[in-house]
Each structure stands twice: as structure tokens, then as C-alpha cells.
Structure 1
Amino acid sequence: MKKILLSSVLLAVLVLGCNQKNKEEKTTEGQVIVKTEEKYSCPMHPEEIGKKGDTCKECGMDLEPVKQAEAGDTKVEITEVSDAVKASVSTDAIIDAYLKIKNALANDDGKEATKAAHDFAQAVSATKTDKITKELLTKYLNITDEAKAQAELIVSNDGKIAQQRMYFAVLSKDITNLIATFGTNKKLFQDYCPMYNEGKSGYWISELKEIRNPYYGSEMLSCGGMIKEIQ
């Protein structure tokens, strides 16, 4: 009777084990190894994907496990919006001013970033909003008010480029939200540096297909990769 009971318990354990999401296999010692489907990518070129043990084709670095999304990540999904929404407001001047800040930081030029951030605030103030629908106007004002605040922080931190880059990361999220909501007629790219701030806020928008990292400048100018082409 005891043997039958033990056999039933063992069978139940085996059934539970077979229902696990991850595949398992036994070693000769009876130990269980869990096979995961973990993805690997290059820390400097996140578009280079492979398996454990592979190296990056761009720089030769070992691929590392892809980090799971965490609270605080600032990636924003950009999808196509209607022509009517695009026509309700022209974001071109705002985006152009943002790109000047991005390029200044990529060139390690904090002074130019300060000037560009000042011009950015003016571009936001000069943009006409009379054609934006009531439903979208509140969202537009929330995004641009936050963006102007970050630009002002970049200005007030003239001479402190590390701080300017920190505020630029938040500004980049605002600009990405603006594009995601109202679209753009420009050909742009959404880029990402997994090294900056532990990968939590290393996103930016660029007009260049070539990677020019605004978070590290000449220190690691080509670090990162393009994650989405816009337009």
C-alpha cells in the first residue's frame, strides 16, 4: 500500500514538472537543468542579437543577456497617426530645435546645448495650436510644458554637461511622446543606448541613420543602435 502511495506522489510530481513553461532535462547525476530562452545582445549595439557565446559583428564584444523592461524605462512606442491629427499642429520647428540640442551634446558642446535649449523653448512658444482638437490640446500642453521645463533645466545647468544630458533624456521622452501623438513629416530615427543610466533612459530621436550618441559624446560616440525608423 505504501509503495502504491509513493508511486502516486512521484507521478504527480513528474506531471507538474512536465507542465513548467521552461524545458528541463536531467543530467547523469539526476540534477535538473532549466533551459531558458534568454535573448542576448551587444551592450553597445543592441540591434545585434544572438545566443549565449556569440560576439557582436560590429565591435567583437561578447553578447550579454537582454535586460527585461523595468519601471522607469522611457521607451515610447511610436505608431502612425492620421493625416488630420498631423495637420492640426506642425511640430517641425520644435523637433528641429530638439535636434540641435541632441547634436550639441553629441559634440560635447555644452555651451551650444545651452543656446539650443533656449531656442527650443522659444520654438514651443511660437508654435500655433489653434487647430488642435480640444481632446488633444490638453495632452499637447502637458507634453510641451514638460519639455520646456527640461529645456530650461538644460539652460540653467550651463557648464555641467552631465546634468544637461540627464535632463535631455527626459526631454527626449517628451519629444517622442509628441511624435507618437501628433506624428511628423520628417524622416527620423528612434535610437537607444543600453549603457546610459543602466538602459533605463538612453533613448533619443535623431535625423541621422548613423549613431551619434548624445549621452556619451566622443567617449562612446557610436554606442547604441536604431530601434525604429519613423516615416
Structure 2
Amino acid sequence: MKNIFSSFTIIALTGLTLFSCKEASNKNTDQHTEHTAAASETQAPQPSEQSSANLPAEPINEKETKTPVKEEIKSFSISPIIKDYLELKNALTTDNDKAAASAGKKLLATIKNTDMKSIPANKHKEYMDIADDAKENAEHIGDNVGKIDHQREHMAPLSQDMADLIALFGTTQKLYRDYCPMFNDGKGAVWISESKSIKNPYYGSKMLTCGSVKKEY
């Protein structure tokens, strides 16, 4: 009987020992699992960080980083030359040689002070040829007060110079090319006017309305 009791005691103790070992093993397993999960949560990147890390770097827009530089573009206009010419023409229509001489000198200065850099390269030579002739004619008119016939002789080629300049560069002002068939012994001569009505600078008050409009600009 004593042996039976001892055997029972041993079996109970053995079972208790096995149960304790198993429980301890389960606790260790659970602790390991919790530790692993915690470590995973700590190491795993947040969704926003992960997506940001995987996105490619945003390209730099060179157009936005560079400040645009405006180039200064000079445009050539013959308006100042035409203005002085019209003043000269109007003086001759009223037979005023002094006013014609003054306008001739002003025109000469305007042509001399032209900014040559503003003239297009492909028109530079042609302009120079016209301008050189115009300066000579303007100078003669400016230097001959009291000699209106001589002034009018140079008015004819000067007017052709103006017509050539308009053909070369155009005009923003409404202008007319008039023609007098009688001047220069019937060879005729042109002039440029800002008015459609005929006022002849070659004869003035003698034949003020002699001539006709040949072209509008």
C-alpha cells in the first residue's frame, strides 16, 4: 500500500513539473512574440514616410529658376526726318525762303544725329546712300536765304530722297506723293505732303494748285 501511495505521489509530482515547464514555455513564447511585434512596429516606417521615401525627387524647373532678361530692341523710324521735311515743304509753298532755310538746317541736323545702330543691317547701306544725298540738298537749302529758286532746285531731289526713304522703311503717318509736271523745264518733280489738297512748293503762290496726287502711303 505504501508503494502504491509513493507511486501516486511521484506521478503527481511529475505531472505538476511538466505542467509548470509547459506554462513557463508558453509564457516565454508569448513574451518573445510580443517583443517581436513591438520591434516590428518600431522599425516599420510609417505609410507617409515610406511613400515619401519611394517617390522620385521633384525635377527643378529651369524656366522658373532663371529670371527672364528682356532684350532692348531699338526700332528705326523716319518720322523725325519726315517732320522736318514737311516743315521745309510748307515754307516753300508760302514763298518763305527764311523759314525754308531754317527748316533745311533742322533737317540736316536730324539726319546727322540719326542713331545708325538702330537701322537694320540689311538696309544700312541703302539708307546711307539716300541720307548722304538728302544732307547735301538740305544743306544747300539752309545756306541760301534770299535765293528761293536755288532752294527749290534742291527741293526736287530732296523730295525724291524722302520718297525713297518711305519706300525703304514705310511710314505710320498718312502721306501723299504729289507730282508737278511743269517743274524743271517740263521734266517734272515729286514732293511729299501730309495733306491730300495740292499745294505746290515749286511755284508757291504763282501756281499753288499745279499738280496731282500720284500715290497714297
Task: Give the C-alpha shift of residue 156 in structure 1.
Answer: 2.0
Once residues 204 and 82 of structure 2 are traced to their aligned partners in structure 1, the CA distance between those partners, rounded to angstroms, is 20
Q: Which consecutive residues of structure 1, in runs of 5 or more, have no partner in the other structure?
A: 1-86
> Among residues 102, 113, 116, which one is paired with 1:115 in the alignment?
102
User: Are residue 208 (structure 1) and residue 175 (structure 2) matched?
Assistant: no
> In terms of Rg, which structure is larger?
2
Once residues 193 and 93 of structure 1 are traced to their aligned partners in structure 2, the CA distance between those partners, rounded to angstroms, is 25
One-letter amino acid of the structure 2 residue matched with residue 156 of structure 1: D
* Structure 1 residues 71-150: aligned runs within 5 Å: 88-150=75-137
Match of 1:10 in 2: none
* Structure 1 residues 1-231: aligned runs within 5 Å: 88-230=75-217
CA RMSD of aligned residues (A): 1.3
Once residues 199 and 93 of structure 1 are traced to their aligned partners in structure 2, the CA distance between those partners, rounded to angstroms, is 32
Task: Give the C-alpha shift of residue 126 in structure 1.
Answer: 2.5
Once residues 194 and 97 of structure 2 are traced to their aligned partners in structure 1, the CA distance between those partners, rounded to angstroms, is 20
Q: How many equivalent residue pairs?
A: 144
Once residues 186 and 166 of structure 2 are traced to their aligned partners in structure 1, the CA distance between those partners, rounded to angstroms, is 22
Secondary structure at 1:196's aligned position in 2? coil
Greater RCO (Cα-Cα under 8 Å, separation 6 or more): 1
Secondary structure at 1:164's aligned position in 2? helix
One-letter amino acid of the structure 1 residue matched with residue 173 of structure 2: K
Secondary structure at 1:120's aligned position in 2? helix
| TM-score (ref. length: structure 1) | 0.60
Once residues 199 and 136 of structure 1 are traced to their aligned partners in structure 2, the CA distance between those partners, rounded to angstroms, is 33
Which range moved further: 142-151 or 198-207? 198-207
Higher helix share: 2
Q: Which consecutive residues of structure 2, in runs of 5 or more, have no partner in the other structure?
A: 1-73
Task: Give the C-alpha shift of residue 150 in structure 1.
Answer: 0.3
| TM-score (ref. length: structure 2) | 0.64
Once residues 185 and 129 of structure 1 are traced to their aligned partners in structure 2, the CA distance between those partners, rounded to angstroms, is 20
Once residues 160 and 130 of structure 1 are traced to their aligned partners in structure 2, the CA distance between those partners, rounded to angstroms, is 37
Percent identical among aligned pairs is 47
